[in-house]
Amino acid sequence: MISIIGAGPTGNYLAYLLAKKNYEVQVFEEHKEIGSPVQCTGIITHELQDFVPVDKSFLINKINRAKIYSPNGNSILVKFKKSDFVIDRIKFDQYLAELAKSHGAKYHLGSKYESNDDKQIIVNGVRIKTDKIIGADGPFSKVAKNNGLWCDRKFVTGHQFTVKTKCEKDLVEFWLGIGMFGWLVPVDENTARIGVVAHKNPTTHLNKLISKRCPNAKIISQETGLIPIFNPKQILQRGNVSIVGDAATQVKATSFGGIIHGLKAAKLLSENYTKYPELCKKQVNRDLYVSLLIRRALDKFSAKDYNDLIVLCSNPKVKKILETKSRDYPTKFAFGIILAQPRLLKFLFKLI
């Protein structure tokens, strides 16, 4: 019996993959409804299709272009060769859970994992037998805490409002120099998710972005949460306990998107339990590490640096790379971008 704690995208996808291989799988989710409450913008690259078909039950919108603004108001327009998707996170998480159930995984909702020993987990005060325990229980993973897998993790805050405002339906906006960055992701022509990621004072940064972009926007809802910063020294496994997804800090530090790398790590874990940490090192961590280095450099940027960055990125060769390469896998384009625009090298000195 494999017990997965957490029915987010990572836990559900893992449950599906393991159940498909005929393992006996049970998933424990503390909430009564899968996917709720939402703490996500739901923008995801075309790489999603490498894991699951993009089903119309959860697809809300497609994004073909990005406009990236620097603090002085300049911008570049990037036309994606392959569209990004905007998804409904509740329906996406539920879609994955249904896939898992259809292959025999058993779900227990309203079931909060409390602790474990070697062969038992304690859920809602009840002891349940298990062979393996997998923590897909998000950034504050209790499984990680209880099993010496917490390591030295740090967080940033993602703070977002869904608002009524005019926007271009296929255009995502990124705003540099507001918090770590800000975004506006359209749901349709009149509704958008506007947010920031910040080390501190997320409310101040979000207010600044709203007053700049859409001061009269009507707020419909708020989605806020802490996001783990990838820890290259994260331990992923101890005996029969593993962690995956946000629980294992498998999040890109450039955009703080965690869905794709969570799914990828889940796939590796389902393929080879014992070699999972080693496989992650080779196939997940490199991109996450390059993202972390980029983030460390960006964290030292002044407004002028962002202004210069946008000018340098308007070089047609750089733009072409941004348009064709997936931002999920920076190892595939970081070197090419430097070759295309060697003046970007000056930003590498920020790492020293």
Residues of this chain that bind ligand FAD (CB under 6 A)? 5-11, 28-31, 39-44, 112-113, 136-138, 142, 158, 160, 195, 223-225, 227, 245-247, 251, 257-259, 262
Q: Which is nearer to ligand FAD, 38 or 312 (CB)?
A: 38
Distance CA 289, CA 291 (A): 5
Q: Which is nearer to ligand FAD, 225 or 336 (CB)?
A: 225
Closest approach of ligand FAD to the CB of residue 61, in Å: 12
Tally the C-alpha atoms within 13 A of residue 100's C-alpha that lie toward its C-beta.
31
Closest approach of ligand FAD to the CB of residue 270, in Å: 14
Q: Which is nearer to ligand FAD, 126 or 351 (CB)?
A: 126
Instruction: Output the six-digit token pair for 45.
Output: 């690259």
Residue with tokens 């931002």: 327
Nearest to 120 by CA among 112, 111, 133, 129: 129
Cα angle 185-181-66, degrees, rounded to a multiple of 5: 40
Closest approach of ligand FAD to the CB of residue 295, in Å: 15
Q: Which is nearer to ligand FAD, 29 or 173 (CB)?
A: 29
Q: What is the DSSP string of 117-173?
A: -SSEEEETTEEEE-SEEEE---TT-HHHHHTT---S-EEEEEEEEEEE----TTEEE
Closest approach of ligand FAD to the CB of residue 311, in Å: 27
Q: Which is nearer to ligand FAD, 91 or 142 (CB)?
A: 142
Closest approach of ligand FAD to the CB of residue 196, in Å: 9
Q: Label the pairing between strands 132-135 and 241-243.
A: parallel
Closest approach of ligand FAD to the CB of residue 167, in Å: 16
> What's the helix, strand, coil split of the chain in %, to 5?
35, 30, 35
Q: Which is nearer to ligand FAD, 263 or 344 (CB)?
A: 263
